[in-house]
Homo-oligomer: A and B are copies of this chain.
Amino acid sequence: MRTFKSLLIAVSLLGGLTSAFAADKLLSKADLAAANSLRERALADPTSWQLVESLTTEVGARLAGSTGDKAAIQWGLREMNRLGFSNVRAMEVTVPHWVRGEAECAVLAPWPVNIPTLALGGSVGTDPAGVEAEAVMVKDLAALAALPAGAVKDRIVYFSNRMDRTQDGSGYGRAVPVRTQGPSAAAALGARAIVIRSISTGSNRFAHTGALRYQPDVPRIAAFAISNPDADALERQFASGEKVRMRLRSTARDLPPEKSANVIGEIPGTDRANEIVILGAHLDSWDPGVGAIDDGAGVAIMMGVAKLIRELDLKPRRTLRVVLFANEEFGTSGSRTYTTAAQAESVRHVMGFEADFGAGPVWRLSSRVNPNQLPVVEQIQRALAPLKLARGGNAANGGADLDGLTRAGMALLSPDLDGTKYFDVHHTANDTMAQVDPASLRQATAAFAVAAWLAAQYPGEWETVTEAKPARR
């Protein structure tokens, strides 16, 4: 928080310095005029919509290792070639192959009810007969740790932790530890299984899945999520004062790892072609929905940006590289493979963009650049003014897929997607095209297009950022 404030101050101080800044380090009028054309073109262009519609209809769900995942790679290669990208290729990635199977969650007492549920991603299954036990309700990891010794031994632990709605997604970071760490934290205390209130801001009856992380030194127990309305009803059962008895069953299981791929295509640069402006999104999706907002929209935005720049024949100075990462959801092996490969390349990744937070609109421009480049960010912000973006400070943390490159010092520009409603739908069966607003998607594509184009044209150097990277949400 302190870092963020001091950077905001830095931004406002630097605002007055632009005119004093060497002209050869600022964007040219021609490049800014081209940005205006690009923005207007993007606001009327249906490509992003058509791409996410095509991906969700022709491929649908595409969890790492699944047949849908393989179909998505072919889709990505086909569409990049159709759109005229250069150097279109698949970079092989090994991915885990977890299968959800079926899941059942029943309250047996005091009032019997079957609750729709989803296994958390990576969960082990239960015995075929399931796990039947008294359930203990705790709010979160701290409340679990504060229980008397033996309180959850042989029990089912229910985490009641509720996520807050925020525009920037910060509520997710605060709520999600029960999903990632809850299974092992409860298992370490002898629990037999866990159920969580979904990491969700929604009021519809959809359970939200998402990855858990088992610790190596404790037994692996099955983990489930239930929707907010079902969590409310379950908590009324606890409030009755009667003992709550539950039965859980899951056929989730791991299969041998599979081959997947990062799908890559470029708009080649001219005089600075060996400097890469990377446009990242992820091709995989959770299996209950069809991955429209997570992350079909991100894929569509990034491919739409490159398509527009190519179509307007803008000839960027730096190379724009669209990377559709494999397996963001289940351990980011696509990102890690890419980061390793990038270190061996003769090119340098100088600027990163990532779209993995829904289908827009963009409400803010954040950055993570060396302070020397803040005047250029200010120029880009002005070029985005017709799209009504706030300035978001210079502490952008980026998305999961650019994490490795960012830690190595790559600068970031982050047209921040509005997350207010994102967690109503994220990781549910309800992630469909009905959640994508065409006008917001076009606005988001326009914002990314302007920022990416101008980043590619910057006459100076995008310097390495040495400040420690803030924690990701």
Mark A residues whose CB is within 8 Å of B: 53, 56-60, 111, 113, 116, 203-206, 228-230, 232-233, 236-237, 289-290, 429-430, 432-435
Contact = CB atoms under 8 A, between A and B. Distances in A.
22 contacts: A53-B236, A57-B233, A57-B236, A60-B111, A113-B290, A116-B429, A203-B434, A203-B435, A204-B204, A204-B206, A204-B434, A205-B206, A205-B289, A205-B429, A205-B430, A228-B434, A229-B432, A229-B434, A230-B432, A232-B433, A232-B434, A233-B290
Of A204, A232, A429, A435, most B-chain CB atoms within 10 Å:
A204
Contacts of A433: 229, 232-233
A236 B56 CA distance: 11
A266 to B, nearest CB: 28
Contacts of A58: 111
A59 B113 CA distance: 8
Contacts of A232: 433-434
Given A116-B429, A203-B434, A204-B434, A233 B111 contact: no
A430 B204 contact: yes
A354 B233 CA distance: 27
A439 to B, nearest CB: 16
A202 to B, nearest CB: 9
Contacts of A228: 434
Nearest to A424: B204
B113 A233 contact: no
A234 to B, nearest CB: 9
A422 to B, nearest CB: 15
Given A57-B236, A233-B432, 6 more contacts: A53-B236, A57-B237, A60-B111, A60-B113, A113-B290, A203-B435
B429 A56 contact: no
A435 B236 CA distance: 16
Contacts of A205: 206, 289, 429-430, 432, 434
A194 to B, nearest CB: 22
Contacts of A432: 205, 229-230, 233
A129 to B, nearest CB: 20
A435 B204 CA distance: 8
Nearest to A54: B236
A115 to B, nearest CB: 10
A289 B116 CA distance: 10
Nearest to A60: B113
Contacts of A236: 53, 57
A48 to B, nearest CB: 16
Nearest to A116: B429
A293 to B, nearest CB: 12
A201 to B, nearest CB: 12
A165 to B, nearest CB: 14
A116 B287 CA distance: 13
A232 B434 CA distance: 9
Contacts of A237: 57
A430 B430 CA distance: 12
A111 B203 contact: no
A232 B56 CA distance: 11
Nearest to A232: B433
Top 10 A-B pairs ranked by shortest CB distance? A229-B432, A229-B434, A203-B434, A57-B236, A205-B430, A58-B111, A60-B113, A205-B429, A204-B204, A204-B430
Contacts of A229: 430, 432-434
Contacts of A204: 204, 206, 430, 434
Contacts of A206: 204-205
B57 A111 contact: yes
A456 B456 CA distance: 78
A407 B168 CA distance: 58
A199 B435 CA distance: 19
Contacts of A57: 111, 233, 236-237
A371 B289 CA distance: 55
Contacts of A111: 57-60
